[in-house]
A and B are shown apart, each in its own frame.
Chain A
Amino acid sequence: MESLYNVLGFPILSLSIFLPTAGALFIWMFVKDDAAVRWATLSVSVATFVVTLPLLLSFDHTTAHMQFEELHPWISSFNINYALGIDGISMPFIVLTSLLTIVCIVSAWRCIQTRVKEYMLAFLILETTLIGVFASLDAVLFYFFWEAMLIPMYLIIGVWGGKNRVYATLKFFLYTLGGSVLMLIAIMAMYFKTGGSFSMLAYMDYPFNFDWQFWIFLAFFVAFAVKVPMWPFHTWLPDAHTEAPTAGSVILAGILLKMGAYGFLRFSLPMLPDASQYFVPFMVFLSLIAIVYVSLVAMMQTDLKRLIAYSSIAHMGFVTLGTFMFTEIAIEGAVFGMISHGFVAAALFLCVGVLYDRMHTREISAYGGVVNVMPVFAVVMMFFAMANVALPGASSFVAEIMVLLGTFNPSPEAMLYMPFSMKWVAIIAASSVVLSACYTLWMVKRVLMGDLVKDEVKTLKDMNVREFSFFAPLIVLVIWLGLYPAPALDLLHVTVAHLVDQATSSKLADAALIAQGAAAHLTGH
C-alpha cells in the first residue's frame, strides 16, 4: 500500500463522515423528548463542524496532492476500496456542508413540530452522505454516497413538505436515480477498461481513447446535469424546492446542486479531457440557456420559492460555463461561485422560511410592505437579494466577474471545437447581470416595498434572536468573501492549476505515445 498523505495522521475524514450518523444512532436509541432531540442534534452538528475545521486549518494549499487520505480495502472481491481524500476543490464543500447543516437544524427549531426526531435524524444521515460524496476517492464509494443521499432527502421532502410534496419528492427521486444509474454503468465500464480498478485517481491517469471518453462523458453528463440541474433536466428542481421544508431547500440549494458541478470537476474534466473539450460548445450552449432563458422564467414566477429555485438554476449556469473554460480564473470562479451561492441561496430560502412561518403562503402577491412591520428582516433579505444580483462587495460578484473574465479569455483547448469566438458567449452571459437584477429587485419590490395593504401583513412580527442567529454567519461570510476573497482563493490555486493541466492535456497523445513506446519496446529499440 502506498504511503498516504495525511498530515494529521488521524482518520479525520472518516470521523467527519460518520460522526453525524453515530450521533443519529445515539439520538434514535436514547433521546426521547422533542426538545432534547433538538439540542442533541444541534450538538452533534456543531461537533461535526468542529471536526471538519481542521480540514480547513491544516489544509496544505501548496500541493495538488490529495490530503487527509485514508485507504482500506472494503470489498476485496471487486477491488473496491474505502478510499478518502480531499483537495482544494472538495475541502470547501465539506466545511460548507457541516456549516449549513447547523443552519438547517437551527432553522427547523420551531417550524418543525411533527416527527421532530425523524426530521433531525434524516438531516444527520444526509450530512453523512454529503460529506461522503465530497471525500470519496473510489468511484463506487462515491456512487454509494451519491445515491444513499436520496433516501433521507426523499423523506425530508415527502414527510415535511408542502401540499404537493408527494409528486415533488417522487419526481426528485426518480429523476436523480435515473440520471445516476447511467453513471454506475459508466463506472463499471471504466473498471474493465482500466483492468480492474475503481480508483478515481487511476481513472485520471488512464489514457481512454476518444470513443470511450465520448460515451462515458455522456453517461456522466446525464447524472451530473440532472443534479446541477442544467436545462433541460431542471424541471424537478422548482417542484422539489417549492414543496421541501425550508431546511430541505437550504441543503438542496446549498449542497446538493453543487454535487453535480463537483462531478464535472472531479470526473469529466480530469478523466475525460478530450471529450470535455469536444463537448465545450454543447455545455456552453446549455449554460447560456440556463443563464438567459431560466432567468426570464424566474421573472415570471408568482411563488417566492420557485423564483429562487429558478434563480439557482441560472447561477449554476454560470458555474458550468466557468467549468468548461479550462482556465484557472474561470474554474476558480466556478468553485467560488458554488460556495458563494451556497450561502446566498441558502439565506434566501431561509428568508422565505421566515415569511412562510408567519403567513403560511409563498405567493408573492400575498405580501407587500413587509419592510414596515419587519425592518430587521427587510434589511437582511435586501442584503441577500443584492448578493443574489452579484453586487460588488458580495461574494457572488467575485465569482461572476472571475467566470466572465475567464470566458472572455478561454484556454485554447476550450476553443478547439467552438464555432465562434467566446467573446459572444461572454457578452450573452453578462446579460445575467441585468436579468438577475430584474427578477430579484422586482421580487423585493413586491414583497418588501410598497404600502401596507394586506391585513395579514400588518400583524407580522419581526425576526427573533434565533432567526437572526442563522443569518449572521452567512452575512459575515458573504461580505468577507466579497471584500477579501484572497485567502479562500489561495486554497484553490494549486488544485485548480493541476486540474486545468489535466483538462487541457489530451489523453489521446498519451495513448499514441504509449502505443509508440510499446512498439519500440517490441522491436527492441
Chain B
Amino acid sequence: MSITAIKGRAFGDRVLLALVILLSIVMIAPVLWVIGLSLKENAELMANPNSVFHAPYTLRNYVNTVGTSSVFLWVGNSIIVSGGLTLGTLILSSLAGYGFARLNFPGRDVLFVIVLFGLAVPEQAVLVARHQIFSILKFHNTYPGLILPGLSASFGVFLMTQYFKAIPKELDEAAMLDNASRFRIFWKVLLPLTVPAQATLGIFTFLGAWNDYLWPLISATNKEMYTLTVGMASTQTNFAQSEGIGFLMAQAVFAGAPILIVYLFFQKYIVTAVSGAAVR
C-alpha cells in the first residue's frame, strides 16, 4: 500500500473521529448543563446563565427535592406498578410459553396466531375503550388500574414460547412419559433453564413500565397515585414561573440518576432486552 493511501486513511480516520466526538458532545452537553443548573441558586441563574460555570454551587435544590414528599410517594408508586407488572408478566408469560411450546390442546395453533396478532396492536388503538371499561369497573387511580393493562401484552408470551421451544425435548419427554404432572415438569425441569429469558423479559418489562407515560397520565388523575413519570411531568407544566429552574433540574437528576446507574450495571442485559424486543 502506498504512503499516500496510508496518509489518506489516517486523514479519513480523523474526520470520522471528529464526527463521533462531536456527536458524543451533543449527547453529554445537555446532561452536564442540567446538572450544572441543578447546583445553582435560582436568582443567580436568572441574572446570568453563564454563572453555571463558576462557584458558588449549592445543594439546596436537592434538599428541596428530597423535602418534597411527593417525589418519594411517586417513586414508591412506580416501584409498585413496575414491580407488580414485571412479576405478573413473568408468571403469565412463562406458563403460557410452556403451554404453547410443549403442550397440545384443541385450537392451540389458532390461538397462538391470535396472540401473535396482539403484537401488532398499538396501545393507542385500545386506549379509549380500556379507559371506559376501567371507568365502569372503578379501576382508575388504583394500582390494579395501572398494572393490569400491561398484562395483556403478547410480547412476553411470544418470547417465552420461542425459548421453551429451543430447549431440547428429550429433557422433559421422559418425565412426560412417566406421567409426571405437567406443572411439576414445568416447575422443576424447564423453568430453571429459562432464567436468561426471564432476566431479559423482566428488565424489558420493568423499564417499559417505569418509563410509561400515556396510560398512567390518563388513568392516574389523583396526585396520590401519580407514577414518577407523570408526577415529574405535572411539576414542569409552568416551567419558568414555578419553583425555579434549578429545582426542576435537581428533580430531573434525582429521577434520572438511579435508572442510569442501573443501566451501567446491567448494560448487557438491557441492550439485549431492548433490541431483542424491537426485532421480535
Same complex origin of A and B: no
